[in-house]
Structure formats: C-alpha cells, structure tokens
Amino acid sequence: MAVDQLSGTLAALADPTRRAILERLTASDATLTEIAAPLPMSIPAVAKHLRVLERAGLITRGRAAQARPCRLAAGPLAEVSDWVARYRRYWDESFDRLDEHLRTLREDTDDDGQER
Amino acid sequence: MTDKSDSATGLGLTIQRTFDAPRERVFRAWADPEQLAAWWGPKDCRATLVEADVRAAGAWRTCIRHVADGTEYWCSGVYREVVPPDRLVLTFAWEEPPGSRGDESVITVTFADEHGKTRMTFHQAAFHSVEQRDEHVSGWDECFTDLAKYLSERRTRPNGG
C-alpha cells in the first residue's frame, strides 16, 4: 500500500463535513447544490470540501453537465479498509497468544499456589 | 477465552475478548515488558525486544521477528494513559525503515471485571498527524457504518460501478 496515498486519504477523512459528504454519496451521486442543501454552511465552503475530496481521489465529478454531479470513488477507501483488516489479523493472532500466556500463568499458580 | 468479537467501522478497529484471568493479571500482561514479549505479534512472529517505560509520556519500542525468514519489523510509540488495572492508551506506528515513523495510530485498551474474568476492549484508530490524533479521538467511527457497507458491496464490482 502506498503510505502517502493512505495519509492523503486519512487527511481528507479527518473532517466531519467531508465524512458527511461521503456518507451522502453512498446513497447516490449528487450535485454541489444537493450536497450543500442539508449542510449548515455556504455553497463555496462546500465546494472547497469537494475539491479536497476530489484531490484525495475519494470522489469523481462528472464533466458533461454544468451541474458536475459528484460520485464516490471506492479505491482509496478500500485501502483504509485493508489497513483495518491487516491490523485485525495482527491483533487477533496476538490476543490468541495472550490467551495462551495467561493460561500458562494460571497453571503456574495452580501448581505452587502462587502467582509468578 | 470464552468469547470474542470484533468490528471495523471504516477507520477504527475494535476487538473484544474475554480472558479467564483477573484483570490485574491481564493488565500486567500488557504493562510488563517481559510478559508483553511473550505474546505480542502474530502467530508466525516473535517479539525479540520489548522496551517499555509504562507511564504517561513514557516511550515503548518493540522488534518483531518473522520466525521463518528472520525479517525484523520495528514498531514504537508513547503511552498516553496508564491507569492500572482499568485502561491503557498508547500511540503506535511501524518504523519503515527502522528509526522513522510511519502512519500513527492510537490504541485504547480497557479491562472490565466480569465475575473474575476480564473483558478486554481493544480499539485502534488511524490518524495521519498528531494534531488529528488529538482532535478526533472519538470522532472516527461515528458515521462510517454505511460507508463500510458501501465498500463491501463495491468489492464485488471491481470497476467501482
């Protein structure tokens, strides 16, 4: 995984408004006006957030129409998802070993009546 | 262990496990470097060095060696909260290469007593900067349920729709 791209993705996601925009786009593609409607901020402010998301590759924007509808791009998010999956395996296996370690301690305690 | 579960909502990973041991002992398994070395790392790896100054602002560093091919992986961070036997908060980053800092994340581990057993809740969240780590400790998971669902659906359509 390209670390720089992951960093860029995380940076773009580190804002609640931008996460809300992505959340909105999971339902359907939407224009700037549609995206801005429920948000408590100006259209230029929303447009700025869209530019950040577009630079991070998290959304694409249509070219044909004046409205330039936004669409969620899954690629960078899949990287984040992979990040989580890698760590899940790492820790699940570590905690299996922790479980074994604790069991060993318990057996020691049972043997001599004292914890080591 | 009597029970385990885990979930991932976008940027955060949560794993819960119940261990058949009092929480003082489970906490010590995290806080004592010697014990940490006994279990830290995936099944095909062994921790060969664990340095841990287990107190708030204390540093930790671990070398994990892949048993089969001898490759070493270094990771390190700083303890942010040490509250025995309730809670540990530490930062985590892979050193790629050793000595450098990769993407930073924050790990929160809590230990709850359940009739002499211990319910451990492990949470790890990704941050791309220290500032964001401090600002968004609780903010990452809140709205990613649909996003995770969206992703899993997209996985079956490689072109992204």
The per-residue DSSP string of chain A comes to --HHHHHHHHHHHSSHHHHHHHHHHHH--B-HHHHHTTSSS-HHHHHHHHHHHHHTTSEEE-SSSTT--EEE--HHHHHHHHHHHHHHHHHHHHHHHHHHHHHHHHHHHHHHSS--
Tens of pLDDT along chain A (116 residues) come to 445 677 778 778 878 889 889 888 888 899 999 999 999 999 999 999 999 999 999 999 987 667 789 998 878 877 777 777 788 889 999 999 999 999 998 777 655 444 44
- Whether A9 and A73 have beta carbons less than 8 Å apart is answered as no
Residues of chain B in contact with residue A23, where contact means CB-CB under 8 angstroms, are 143, 146-147
pTM confidence score: 0.66
Q: What's the number of CA atoms in the CB half-sphere (13 Å) around residue B74?
A: 13
Contact B8 A81 (CB under 8 A): yes
Complex ipTM, two decimals? 0.72
Assess B124–A contact: CB distance below 8 Å, yes or no: yes
Interface test with A, best of B1, B7, B106 (most A CBs within 10 A): B1
Nearest CA in chain A to B41: A94
* Chain B hits for A8, Cβ within 8 Å: 128
Cβ pair B136, B127 in contact under 8 A: yes
- Per-residue pLDDT reduced to its tens digit, B46-55: 898 789 999 9
Contacts of A52 (CB under 8 A, 6+ apart): A12, A15, A18
Q: Which of B25, B144, B154 is facing A74, going by the closest CB pair?
A: B154
Q: Tell me the Ramachandran region of residue B86: left when phi exceeds 0, alpha when psi lies from -120 to 50, beta otherwise.
A: alpha
Pairing relation of β-strands B117-127 and B12-19? antiparallel
Q: How far apart are CA A86 and CA A98, in angstroms?
A: 18
